[in-house]
Structure 1
Amino acid sequence: MDNDTQTSITSESNSQSKASLIKGSAWMTAGSIFSRILGAIYVIPWNNWFGSLLTAKLANSLFGKGYNIYSLFLIISTAGIPGAISKQIAHYNAINEYATGNKLFKQGLKIMAITGVITAAVMYFGAPVLAVILSGGDQNVVPVLRALSWALLIIPIMSIVRGYFQGYEQMAPSAISQFIEQVARVIYILAATYFIMKVQKGSYINAVAQSTFAAFIGAIFGLGILIIYFIKQLPRLRKLSQGSNNEVDTSGQNFFVEIWSQALPFIILDSGIILFQIFDQQTFNFMMNTVQHLSTDTLNALYALFSFNTNKIIMIIVSLSTALAVTAVPLLSAAYSRHDAKDVNEQIGSTLQLFFLVMIPSALGMYAVAKPLYILFYRYDQLGIYILQFNSIIAILLALFTVLSAILQGLYQNGLAIKYFLVGFGVKIIAQYPCIYFFHTFGPLLATGIGMLVTSILMFRLLQTKFGFDINQTIRRTFGILLLSVFMLVVVILIDWIGYHFISPDNRILSVALLVVEVIVGALIYSYLILKVRIAEKIVGPKIATLRRKLHIK
Structure 2
Amino acid sequence: MSSKLLRGTFILTLGTIISKVLGLFYVIPFYAIVKDQGTALYQFSYVPYTIFISIATAGVPLAVSKFISKYNAMGEYAVGRKLFKSGIAVMLATGTISFLVMYFSATMLADLSLSSAEENPDLNKDDVATVIRAVSFALIVVPFMSLIRGFFQGHQSMGPSAVSQVVEQIVRIVFVLAGAYIVLNVMNGSIVSAVSVATFAAFIGAIGSLVVLGWYWFKRKPHLDELLKQDKGTIDISLKNIYKEILVYAAPFVFVGIANPLFQFIDQITFERAMTSIGKGAEATAAFAILNFQTHKLVIIPVSLATAFSLTLVPSITKAFVEKNYNSLKQQLDQTFQVLLYLTVPATIGLALLAEPAFTIFYEHKELGTDILRLYAPVAILFALFSVTAAVMQGINEQRFTVLSLLTGLLVKLSLNIPLIKMFETEGAVLATALGYLAAVLINLFVIKKFAQYQFKMVIRRGFLIMIFSGLMAGVTYAAYLGVTLWLSPAEKFSSILIIVICALIGVAIYFYLGFRTKLINLLFGDKVDRVKQKLRLPL
Q: Is the 8 A contact 1:97 1:248 kept in 2?
A: yes
Matched, 1:422 2:407: yes
Matched, 1:215 2:202: yes
- Rate the CA distance shift 1:411–1:247 in 2: closer, same or farther, 3 A: farther
Aligned sequence identity (%): 35
TM-superposition CA deviations, 1:79-114 (whole Å, max 9, x none): 643343345456657877666455445544442222
Q: Which moved more, 1:22-31 or 1:373-382?
A: 22-31
- Rate the CA distance shift 1:107–1:304 in 2: closer, same or farther, 3 A: same
Which of 253, 261, 270 matches 2:257?
A: 270
- Rate the CA distance shift 1:540–1:86 in 2: closer, same or farther, 3 A: farther
Which of 121, 129, 140 matches 2:108?
A: 129
Which of 136, 140, 146 matches 2:133?
A: 146
Distance 1:475 1:95 in 2: 43
Counterpart in the other structure of 1:41: 25
Which of 291, 298, 312 matches 1:306?
A: 291
Matched, 1:179 2:166: yes
Opposite residue 75 of structure 1, the aligned amino acid is S
- Rate the CA distance shift 1:387–1:175 in 2: closer, same or farther, 3 A: farther
Opposite residue 397 of structure 2, the aligned amino acid is Y
TM-superposition CA deviations, 1:152-188 (whole Å, max 9, x none): 1221122234444556777665444333322221111
Opposite residue 68 of structure 1, the aligned amino acid is V
Opposite residue 254 of structure 2, the aligned amino acid is I
Which of 168, 171, 175 matches 1:188?
A: 175
Q: Is the 8 A contact 2:114 2:273 kept in 1?
A: no
Which of 507, 512, 518 matches 1:522?
A: 507
Counterpart in the other structure of 1:540: 525
Opposite residue 296 of structure 2, the aligned amino acid is N
Distance 1:217 1:77 in 2: 18
Opposite residue 539 of structure 2, the aligned amino acid is I
Distance 1:77 1:43 in 2: 26
Q: Is the 8 A contact 1:91 1:337 kept in 2?
A: no
- Rate the CA distance shift 1:261–1:282 in 2: closer, same or farther, 3 A: same
**Secondary structure of 1:154 counterpart:** helix
Distance 1:425 1:358 in 2: 26
Distance 1:450 1:216 in 2: 35
**1:549 shift after superposition:** 2.9
TM-superposition CA deviations, 1:374-394 (whole Å, max 9, x none): 011221111211111111111
Which of 439, 443, 449 matches 1:454?
A: 439
- Rate the CA distance shift 1:204–1:81 in 2: closer, same or farther, 3 A: same
Distance 1:231 1:338 in 2: 42
Matched, 1:392 2:383: no
**1:553 shift after superposition:** 2.9
Which of 72, 75, 94 matches 2:51?
A: 72
Distance 1:106 1:471 in 2: 47
**1:142 shift after superposition:** 1.9
**Secondary structure of 2:280 counterpart:** coil
Which of 169, 186, 191 matches 1:199?
A: 186
**1:266 shift after superposition:** 3.3
Counterpart in the other structure of 1:11: none
Which of 430, 436, 447 matches 1:445?
A: 430
Distance 1:245 1:146 in 2: 47
Q: Is the 8 A contact 1:485 1:526 kept in 2?
A: yes
Distance 1:173 1:35 in 2: 14
Matched, 1:81 2:68: no
**1:198 shift after superposition:** 1.8
Distance 2:292 2:449 in 1: 34
Distance 1:503 1:157 in 2: 50
Q: Which moved more, 1:522-531 or 1:160-169?
A: 160-169
Q: How many residues were matched structurally? A: 531
Distance 1:387 1:169 in 2: 43
TM-superposition CA deviations, 1:251-288 (whole Å, max 9, x none): 58621233234434433332111111111111112223
- Rate the CA distance shift 1:217–1:347 in 2: closer, same or farther, 3 A: farther
Opposite residue 18 of structure 2, the aligned amino acid is F
Opposite residue 55 of structure 2, the aligned amino acid is I
**1:227 shift after superposition:** 4.7
**Secondary structure of 1:201 counterpart:** coil
Distance 2:310 2:209 in 1: 21
**1:438 shift after superposition:** 3.1
- Rate the CA distance shift 1:315–1:274 in 2: closer, same or farther, 3 A: same
Q: Is the 8 A contact 1:108 1:160 kept in 2?
A: yes
Which of 338, 349, 355 matches 1:370?
A: 355
TM-superposition CA deviations, 1:120-170 (whole Å, max 9, x none): 122223322332235557221122112211211221122234444556777
Counterpart in the other structure of 2:120: none
Q: Which has the higher contact order (CA 8 A, sep 6+)?
A: 1
**1:301 shift after superposition:** 1.2
Distance 2:53 2:302 in 1: 21
Matched, 1:409 2:394: yes
Q: Is the 8 A contact 1:65 1:135 kept in 2?
A: no
Distance 1:522 1:426 in 2: 38
Distance 2:323 2:79 in 1: 17
**1:519 shift after superposition:** 2.8
Q: Is the 8 A contact 1:33 1:316 kept in 2?
A: no
Which of 418, 423, 433 matches 1:433?
A: 418
Q: Is the 8 A contact 2:12 2:159 kept in 1?
A: yes
**Gapped regions of structure 2 (runs ≥ 5):** 117-124
| TM alignment of 1:290-305, pairs within 5 A | 290=277, 292-295=278-281, 297-305=282-290
Counterpart in the other structure of 1:63: 42
Counterpart in the other structure of 1:381: 366
Counterpart in the other structure of 2:269: 282
Opposite residue 494 of structure 1, the aligned amino acid is A
- Rate the CA distance shift 1:356–1:244 in 2: closer, same or farther, 3 A: farther
- Rate the CA distance shift 1:462–1:246 in 2: closer, same or farther, 3 A: farther
* TM-score, normalised via structure 1 length: 0.84
Counterpart in the other structure of 1:508: 493
- Rate the CA distance shift 1:26–1:284 in 2: closer, same or farther, 3 A: farther
Q: Which moved more, 1:277-286 or 1:82-91?
A: 82-91
**Secondary structure of 1:383 counterpart:** helix
Q: Is the 8 A contact 2:311 2:336 kept in 1?
A: no
**Secondary structure of 1:271 counterpart:** helix
